[in-house]
Amino acid sequence: MAGGVIVLRPYRVAVYGTLKRHQSNHRVLAGSRLVGECSLNSIVLYDLGPYPGAKLERSQGVLIEVYEVDGPTFARLDALEGYDAASPAMGLYDRKLLDTPLGRAWVYIYNHAVSKGGEIRVGGWPQ
Sort 16 into a burial class: Cβ within 10 Å, 0-12 / 13-18 / 19+.
buried
How many structural domains compose the chain? Answer: 1
Provide the whole-model pTM. 0.90
Which residues span the domain enclosing 37? 11-120
Say what the pLDDT of residue 45 is: 95
CATH number of the domain encompassing residue 20: 3.10.490.10
Per-residue model confidence (pLDDT) at position 1? 47
Q: Residue 81 burial by CB count (10 A; 0-12/13-18/19+): exposed, middle or buried?
A: buried
- Does a structural domain hold residue 3? no
Mean pLDDT over each residue of the chain, to the nearest integer: 91
pLDDT in tens, 60-118: 899 999 999 999 999 999 999 999 999 998 999 999 999 999 999 999 999 999 977 78
**pLDDT reported for residue 8:** 54
The residue from 57, 65, 81, 119 that is catalytic is 81
CA–CA gap between residue 119 and residue 102 (Å, rounded) = 25
Q: Is residue 98 part of a domain?
A: yes
Does 81 qualify as catalytic in the annotation? Answer: yes
Distance CA 107, CA 24 (A): 18
- The four Cα atoms 100, 30, 76, 57 give a dihedral, to 10 degrees, of -20
Reported as a pLDDT band with limits 50, 70 and 90, residue 3 is low
Whether pLDDT at 43 is above 90 = yes
